[in-house]
Amino acid sequence: MSPRGAGAGRRRGLIAYCAAVLAWTVSFMTALVLLPPGAHTTAVAHADATSVTVAGPEQWDPASGQYGARGTVTVSQTQNLVDQVVHVSWTGFTTSSTSFVSWDDSVSERLTFYPVIVYECRGKDPKITDCYGSTHYNQDPARGFKQAQADPSAPDYPTNAGIAVTHGDHAGSVDLEVYTASQAPTLGCDATHQCSIVVEPDYGGDALGYDTADGSPDCTDHSLDADGGFNQANVQSFTQVDAADDFQAGEYCAWTHRTVVPISFAPVPAACAAGATDVAGEGTPMLDRALTQWVVGSCLAGNNPVTVNDASGLTEPQARGDFLKGAPGADLAFTSLPADPAASAARPYTYVPVGSNGIAIAFFVDDPVTHLPITRMKLNARLVAKLLTQSYDLEHVQGLKSDTPSVAGNPICLYNDPEFLALNPTDGAFTWPVCPGLDAPNTLPIVMGGKTDMVRELTTWIMSDPDARAFLSGTPDPSGMRVDGFYKTSAYPYPIDGFIPQDSSGPPVDPTTGLPYDPAGDRRDYGSLKSFEWSPIQSGLDDVLRHLLRATATCSGPVLINGVHPKCAGLHLGNRGVIAIMDTGRASAFSLPTASLLNAAGNYVAPGAPSMTAAVADYVTDAKTGTQSLPWGVAGTDYAKDANAYPLTVPAYAMAPTSGVSAAKANNIANFLSAVTDNRSGQLPGTTPGELAPGYVPNSAKQAVQAGAAIAAIRPKAAPGSGSTVTVTATGPVPTGGVTGTPTTSGSVVVTPVTVVSNGKTTIYRVTSTIGGNGNGSGDTGGAAGTGPGTTGNGGSTSKGVAGAPSGGSTRSLSGSTTPAAAAVGAAAPDTAGPARFVLPTLLVIGVVLVAAGPAGLLLSAPGGTGARIRALTSRPRPTRRFGK
């Protein structure tokens, strides 16, 4: 047989073969379009100084059958990468045949001519077997494409390969998540193992050797690119064929047009040398991305490295409880809210502010007409309350014979809620998704389960809003929508510590027939329909993020399939409508679109460094604990008047012992926290190990003073003869004849003498601070005390007046109400936890005194180290949830 005849024989089998592999093709492509988001699906990751633009392949012109000028490929960040999103864009590529990638049951809509695949791969010059998510990943590199393709499911995390299109302007983009060795150990990308991003446009060619005698590829032959209605440029990349007893993947020709951009990574926690742990910490999930950078920078510090192991997967209530008990793994506890002031503690402790983060409401919502993402959304507290209380009638479709009484008559989902639509007009620029029942996106938020400070803070903010509070009590909104009765605050009072679904009701009879449920039928559980709508994730914030990236709501199908309720499937690109609640650290690292929230000044503000920094300046201090927060619901405060403040900004603290641990451990704790709170390292925003990760904002000046004073109290006192030249003690009031006793008060003014001994000379500072506040919520500044008698040390003494640090203002209680700040001065307080300790104002003014006296060495020290755990949480694609099927 002639070569052409042999090729024709192979060619005649193309249509049948493509049909045979189509189902497999769709499963792979579905995985690609579900995770990660493709072109134009997320807010664009910001470029930094390491952005790189390189020459791309020559552009293929199908009309002329010729190659033209070379395009370009740009990667927004190429160095110091962590687990994050980078923006990969290109120009001068061949235009794809569709404007987005979407796959359904129609063959015609599966075909995208001239797509672009983007991989993360091992090494600077990778082979296809080095590319994570390819069908040859981890196979024999010597055989390359000449081997049977594997299941595209990746061995560690799900595939992060991105598929996208090139638009009519010959440009396109992908927001690609890059994995570190912590997420994908087999890929192994870290500071010592370089990796690459590969951009691979599929320009067709006879990759499968249909028209060659020996079945070898001929990438110059484009005659099959659109043969028989099947576009070879689409099919070839994801198929295999047996040619002369040798398997060859159709991706072969596309690979010849690849562009490789080397990337490098920051050290991961595994880079810290194994050995004894110097400090053990617990909590908080919202802070873990910042902790990871602090930890790695600390353990790799050239001078005085400290090994700290932080179990950031433990929630704040767990961490506080373990710390108060003095548990071995809780030398430090990271928290947002303070411990109960009345709780007993195994040792005295203090709070060290380490920065602030925020609670973000992220979303992936696509325009159902253009299938392109919607990137802006406004929400107020009442709308968030509706989402968190299952108050939408998600299962309702027209013509049902029965409905769920607890939500009957309410809007079907967020996107047809009159309040939401009035707040988010489209002005003809885009279209919100429609809500025809369970085929619509399940808009109930993807949330973390368990008791967390994030939930307590979020629901406290909700309850501080009069409209949301009224709605939760049972008052309908202006359009008549009512709270799901199972969530009325008379039965389920907000604020809460953890999300627990309350409604497991459903239609009293079969909604499709109006008859009683068949106890043996596959719809027999419809009577508890609401119980399948929403399931908070118990495996942590990483899994919340993964579900959002997969556009997979945490619901289950009410119809039994083989005796079980299958999990809901992820939504395809172009058809998403999911929302998730997470920390701003993750939202920033993954460039997620986030909702703008209504603040107390009546402005809608999105999370970001400017808006969160503005909010930090509005914090008020609780005199009982010294911790700070936004005064939600309090009129007349600085926050109430601040149009720029992001309302869900929250502080982060380290609870640390001030005695009761060895001197070595105390020094290690102080060293680590000094590095974390130093504005030259841990408070310097950046992506370098030791710096403050994106999505977090530094301490304010007031918090910096508090941190310095607290760390000075943590550091052990110098032993006699150690050579130390500076000691600081807070000694109480200055009566005639000596320096003894406790701080004295007059009204809201606290007077505390502080003794500083420097190089043998004793100086007594009589300082004041104010507790109680002036009603503006911004804190008060103490006035200077008068001079008093000095106490003579070895080198004489002087006595001075020093202004105290701010410590007052209104205080927001955990119930959402506010009370004037007040504390019994001299009594045990939660930041002191022992009769020999001092109230927070003493610690604050010590910080001022230290600055005045000059012992900066007590406040700035070598970094310490931590080994934060990063969880690899995955979930598999789920069956689609449909009603009445």
CA–CA gap between residue 385 and residue 424 (Å, rounded) = 17
* E runs forming strands in 179-249: 195-201, 226-227, 230-231, 240-243, 246-249
- pLDDT tens-digit series, residues 315-325: 999 999 999 99
| Averaged pLDDT for residues 614-642 | 96
* Better-scored residue on pLDDT, 84 or 149: 84
pLDDT of residue 277: 81
Is residue 292 scored above 50 in pLDDT?
yes
Within 10 angstroms of residue 264's Cβ, the number of other Cβ atoms is 18
**What are the tokens at 542?**
């990483």
- pLDDT tens-digit series, residues 488-547: 999 999 999 999 999 999 999 998 889 999 999 988 999 999 999 999 999 999 999 989
What's the distance, CA 471 to chain centroid?
Answer: 29
The answer to whether residues 829 and 839 touch, using CB atoms and an 8 Å cutoff, is yes
| Averaged pLDDT for residues 852-873 | 30
CA–CA gap between residue 434 and residue 505 (Å, rounded) = 25
Write the CA distances from 110 to 22, 105, 107, integer angstroms: 9, 8, 5
DSSP 8-state class, residue 661: S
CA–CA gap between residue 858 and residue 852 (Å, rounded) = 13
Is residue 29 scored above 90 in pLDDT?
no
* Better-scored residue on pLDDT, 511 or 759: 511
pLDDT of residue 10: 46
Write the CA distances from 16 to 229, 243, 286, 738, integer angstroms: 12, 16, 52, 100
* DSSP assignments along 670-713, one per residue: HHHHHHHH-TTTTTSBSSSTTSBPTT-BPPPHHHHHHHHHHHHH
pLDDT of residue 218: 86
CA–CA gap between residue 686 and residue 546 (Å, rounded) = 24
Alpha helix ranges (H) inside 389-448: 418-423
* Residue tagged 């001299």 (tokens): 826
Q: Is 426 helix (H, G, I), strand (E, B) or coil?
A: coil
Confidence of residue 147 (pLDDT cuts 50, 70, 90): confident
**What are the tokens at 96?**
């794809």
pLDDT of residue 223: 80
The backbone region for 598, taken as left when phi is positive above 0, alpha when psi lies in -120 to 50, beta otherwise, is beta
Q: Residue 746 is which amino acid?
A: S
According to DSSP, the residues that pair with 206 across neighbouring strands are: 218
CA–CA gap between residue 270 and residue 867 (Å, rounded) = 8
* Residue tagged 């160095």 (tokens): 79
CA–CA gap between residue 367 and residue 428 (Å, rounded) = 12
Q: Which of 425, 362, 733 lies closest to 576, judged by CA? A: 362
Is residue 240 scored above 90 in pLDDT?
no
CA–CA gap between residue 54 and residue 641 (Å, rounded) = 48
Helices H / strands E in the chain, number of each? 17, 31
Q: Is 556 helix (H, G, I), strand (E, B) or coil?
A: strand
pLDDT of residue 762: 58
% the chain with pLDDT above 70: 70
Is residue 26 scored above 60 in pLDDT?
no
Say which residues have a Cβ less than 8 Å from residue 876's Cβ, sequence separation at least 6.
none
pLDDT of residue 798: 38
CA–CA gap between residue 422 and residue 434 (Å, rounded) = 15
- pLDDT tens-digit series, residues 705-752: 999 999 999 998 755 444 444 344 433 333 333 333 344 444 434 444
According to DSSP, the residues that pair with 373 across neighbouring strands are: 366
> Within 13 A of 650's CA, how many CA atoms are on the CB side?
28
Confidence of residue 158 (pLDDT cuts 50, 70, 90): confident
Which pTM does this prediction carry? 0.76
Q: Is 254 helix (H, G, I), strand (E, B) or coil?
A: helix
Parallel, antiparallel, or unpaired: how do β-strands 378-379 and 596-598 relate? parallel
- pLDDT tens-digit series, residues 794-833: 333 333 333 333 333 333 333 222 222 222 222 223 333 3
**What are the tokens at 72?**
């370009």
The answer to whether residues 292 and 868 touch, using CB atoms and an 8 Å cutoff, is yes
Within 10 angstroms of residue 496's Cβ, the number of other Cβ atoms is 17
User: Environment class of residue 440 by beta-carbon count within 10 Å: exposed (0-12), middle (13-18) or buried (19+)?
Assistant: buried
Say which residues have a Cβ less than 8 Å from residue 865's Cβ, sequence separation at least 6.
272, 278, 295, 296, 297, 298, 299, 300, 301, 305, 306, 307, 308, 672
Is residue 224 scored above 60 in pLDDT?
yes
**What are the tokens at 742?**
């406790």
* Better-scored residue on pLDDT, 731 or 698: 698
pLDDT of residue 880: 30
Write the CA distances from 821 to 190, 287, 518, 542, 621, integer angstroms: 48, 28, 60, 37, 8
Q: Which of 619, 74, 688, 700 lies closest to 355, judged by CA? A: 700
Write the CA distances from 716 to 667, 673, 682, 721, 734, integer angstroms: 7, 14, 22, 15, 25
- pLDDT tens-digit series, residues 182-216: 899 999 999 999 999 999 998 888 877 778 888 78
What's the distance, CA 120 to chain centroid?
Answer: 21
The answer to whether residues 161 and 118 touch, using CB atoms and an 8 Å cutoff, is yes
Is residue 451 scored above 90 in pLDDT?
yes
Is residue 633 scored above 70 in pLDDT?
yes
CA–CA gap between residue 409 and residue 392 (Å, rounded) = 9
Parallel, antiparallel, or unpaired: how do β-strands 749-758 and 116-122 relate? unpaired
Confidence of residue 397 (pLDDT cuts 50, 70, 90): confident
Query: Using CA of residue 437, residue 443, residue 449, residue 455, what is the dihedral sign?
Result: negative
Is residue 43 scored above 60 in pLDDT?
no
Q: Which of 727, 726, 782, 772 lies closest to 752, judged by CA? A: 782
Q: Which of 477, 509, 831 lies closest to 654, judged by CA? A: 831
Q: Residue 242 is which amino acid?
A: D
| Averaged pLDDT for residues 267-293 | 87
% the chain with pLDDT above 90: 52
**What are the tokens at 25?**
């093709």
Write the CA distances from 810 to 608, 615, 816, integer angstroms: 25, 15, 12
User: Nearest 5 degrees, angle CA 36-CA 37-CA 41?
Assistant: 165
For the CA atoms of 122, 125, 127, 133, the dihedral, rounded to the nearest 10 degrees, stands at 40
- pLDDT tens-digit series, residues 85-121: 999 999 999 998 777 664 333 333 346 788 899 999 9
> Within 13 A of 380's CA, how many CA atoms are on the CB side?
20
The answer to whether residues 263 and 74 touch, using CB atoms and an 8 Å cutoff, is no
Q: Is 126 helix (H, G, I), strand (E, B) or coil?
A: coil
Over the chain, what is the mean pLDDT? 76
Of the ranges 5-9, 208-212, 616-620, 876-880, which is most confident? 616-620
Write the CA distances from 191 to 156, 265, 309, integer angstroms: 19, 5, 20
pLDDT of residue 371: 85
* E runs forming strands in 474-609: 577-583, 596-598, 604-605
